[in-house]
Chains A and B, each alone.
Chain A
Amino acid sequence: MEWINAILQGVLLGGLYALFAAGLSLIFGVMRLVNIAHGDFIVLAAFLGLSITTGFGVHPLAALLLVVPIMAGLGYALQRGILNQTLGDDILPPLLVTFGLSVIIQNGLLEVYSADPQKMNAGAIEIASVQLPGGLSAGVLPLLMFGVSVAVIAGLQWIFYRSALGRAFRAVSDKQDIAQLMGLNKAHVFGLAMALALGVVGIAGVFLGIRTSFDPSIGPGRLIFGFEAVIIGGLGNLWGTLAGGIILGVSQNIGAQINPGWQLLAGHLAFLIVLAVRPRGLFPRIEG
């Protein structure tokens, strides 16, 4: 029973990892940009949620109404102002610039919020749980987060494959020059993609801040979880990313069940095994 419980909690945790990863996957899919600062943006969103929660005295989940648009706006401005200038045939400049952003965000947060761990208080919902068949129980909050994660992935999937915006994303991703001949402004389309990605990061950051304590230095760790979920699931496949997040979460919880010190190690091992057996991930996007 303990084991089944560990797996269940791992699945729920995996939803959060999928949220970490979805923005990374989207950005890489549209403009072949690897955002090293992605994890730090998650932490930035968590601190933003903290400031709004304490500043206005609102519930952390209500803070999402401000955090998501602010992060999306920041994403658009960042893409148009800085990142578009780094994109080209060479993949190194965007890597270096986002690495620099990572350092700037970490130190900026350290300056403003200090290195003390913080946490957002979501009140009674944090300890509420539901009884499941077989004597299992699951927290309402993790269940809610998992549900939102699945909904976000489904929403991104719909945008990408069913909406005009998604058509523009795919067209620009396929052939940048030709997409411009169709009247698509590449710089604007990339800006929208980054806005969407950081909007998702806003949700991920607030969830992270409700679920665990956080401090300015934990961004790179979240980035690794995001990367691992993307690679396990297969590049360019959003449902695969969700599966990757779940596999990572379950592995970590099984590891922790064996020995509390093995939690992170077990996740990384699962990642390495997938990488060794299926280098393209479990569900790579089928071309054509």
Chain B
Amino acid sequence: MPDALLSTEALEAHYGDFQALFGVSVNVTPGEVVSIIGANGAGKSTLMRSITGLLKSKPEMVRWKDQPIGSLRADQIAQLGIAMVPEGRQLFQSLSVEENLIIGGQMGRGGPWDLEAVFKLFPILEERRNVASTALSGGQQQMVAIGRALMSNPEILLFDEISLGLAPIIIKTIYDALPQIIGEGMSAVIVEQDIAKALSVSDRVYCMQEGRISLQGTPNSLTREQISAAYFGV
């Protein structure tokens, strides 16, 4: 895959003696939306942590525009234009809503996303810009987390468990906003447990099981039986 923007090649990851990923190879091309589905403990979040540099890998196991980046620090990887909306929102509790957004943009990478653009996408955040981030509802916190990632004007945006723990109405709001977010040529990786949602927005899908890729393809080419076999391993 020569034109991949981001790829992992036979990626392995360990937590101490426990091996969490076994030779995972995925790739994302420019402008593509890829979803990664799988049950709890399949290794989806570990894959995200490895890509973003929160878990160190061998250099050539993660490649960005054909350069090995597996051993870079997380802040160096962020500078390249890889942003993540982490699982569980993970807002900075000592910072206000606006400060959370500003710190997302502190690298000064130019582009269409600034405070104004984020407030236009999620108007409720402008009303609550000076509120402590902990005072928001879960859905509003997810909006801040998405806005914070967008503020760095990334080339690729990773969403880790985008809908986990949110009310269905909020999940709908966020998925409705997705085309506006990734419509500008941005690539995205969406990690989801909600298979139907993931398939509806993505160009390609990977299914993970026990630290390995168990299935991949375009949403149309995969049958429900194939997916449930790859998801549950039965």
Q: Is the CB of B86 within 8 A of A181?
A: yes
Q: Nearest Cβ distance between residue B84 and chain A, in whole angstroms? A: 6
Which of these binds chain A: B97-105, B121-129, B196-204, B217-225? B97-105
Binary A-proximity of B131-162 (CB < 8 A = 1, otherwise 0) = 01011000000000000100010000000000
Distance between Cα atoms of A186 and B74 in the complex (Å): 10
**Nearest CB of chain A from residue B189's CB, rounded to whole Å:** 14
Q: Is the CB of A180 within 8 A of B54?
A: yes
Could you tell me the distance between the alpha carbons of A185 and B76 in the complex, rounded to whole angstroms?
8
Tell me if A182 is interfacial: C-beta within 8 Å of chain B: yes
B232 neighbours in A (Cβ, 8 Å): none
Given A167-B95, A175-B90 in contact, is the A180-B73 Cβ separation under 8 Å?
Answer: yes
What number of A residues sit within 8 Å (CB to CB) of B? 20
* CB-based nearest B residue for A160: B94
Does A177 reach chain B (CB closer than 8 Å)? yes
Task: Check A167–B99 contact: CB distance below 8 A.
Answer: yes
Interface centre among A171, A173, A288 (most CB of B within 10 A): A171
Within 8 A of A (CB), among B208-234: none
- Please, which residues of chain A bring their CB within 8 A of the CB of B148? 182
How distant is the Cα of A167 from the Cα of B53 in the complex, in angstroms?
A: 22
Closest CB-CB distance, A177 to chain B, in whole Å? Answer: 5
Main secondary structure of the interface of A (DSSP, over half): helix
Q: Establish whether residues B106 and A178, one from each chain, have CB atoms under 8 Å apart when the complex forms.
A: no
Given A167-B103, A182-B103, A182-B148, A288–B93 Cβ distance below 8 Å?
yes
Q: Which residues of B contact A185 (CB under 8 A)?
A: 73, 75-76
Report how many A-B pairs have Cβ atoms within 8 Å: 70
The verdict on A183 contacting chain B, using a C-beta distance below 8 Å, is yes
Residues of B within 8 A of A87 (CB): none
Q: A200: CB under 8 A from chain B?
A: no
Name the contact of B134 in the complex, choosing from A171, A180, A182, A288 (C-beta under 8 A).
Answer: A288
Contact with B along A186-229 (1 / 0, CB 8 A): 10000000000000000000000000000000000000000000
Closest-CB distance, B122 to chain A (whole angstroms): 19
Asked whether, in the complex, the Cβ of B86 is within 8 Å of the Cβ of A167, the reply is: no
A-chain residues with CB within 8 Å of residue B73 when the two chains form the complex: 180, 185
Q: Look across to chain A and name the residue whose beta carbon is closest to the beta carbon of B102.
A: A167
Q: Is the CB of A178 within 8 A of B93?
A: no
With a 10 A CB-CB cut-off, give which of A167, A183, A185 has the most chain B CB atoms. Answer: A183
Q: Are A184 and B75 in contact (CB under 8 A)?
A: yes
A174 CB-CB contact with B under 8 Å: yes
For the complex formed, measure the closest distance between the CB of A85 and the CB atoms of chain B, giving whole angstroms: 15
Residues of B within 8 A of A174 (CB): 92-95
Report which B residues bind A (CB closer than 8 A).
Answer: 52-54, 73-76, 78-79, 83-84, 86, 90, 92-95, 99, 102-104, 106-107, 132, 134-135, 148, 152
In the complex, the 5 A-B pairs of residues with the closest C-beta atoms, listed nearest first: A180-B74, A183-B107, A183-B78, A170-B94, A174-B92
A-B contact pairs, 29 of them (CB 8 A): A164-B106, A167-B95, A167-B99, A167-B103, A167-B106, A168-B103, A170-B92, A173-B94, A174-B93, A177-B74, A178-B86, A179-B103, A180-B53, A181-B52, A181-B74, A181-B78, A181-B84, A181-B86, A182-B107, A182-B152, A183-B75, A183-B106, A183-B107, A184-B103, A184-B106, A185-B75, A186-B75, A288-B93, A288-B134
Task: For the A-B complex with A174-B92, A174-B95, A180-B53 known, give 7 more contacts whose Cβ atoms are closer than 8 Å.
Answer: A181-B74, A182-B75, A183-B79, A183-B107, A184-B75, A184-B103, A185-B73
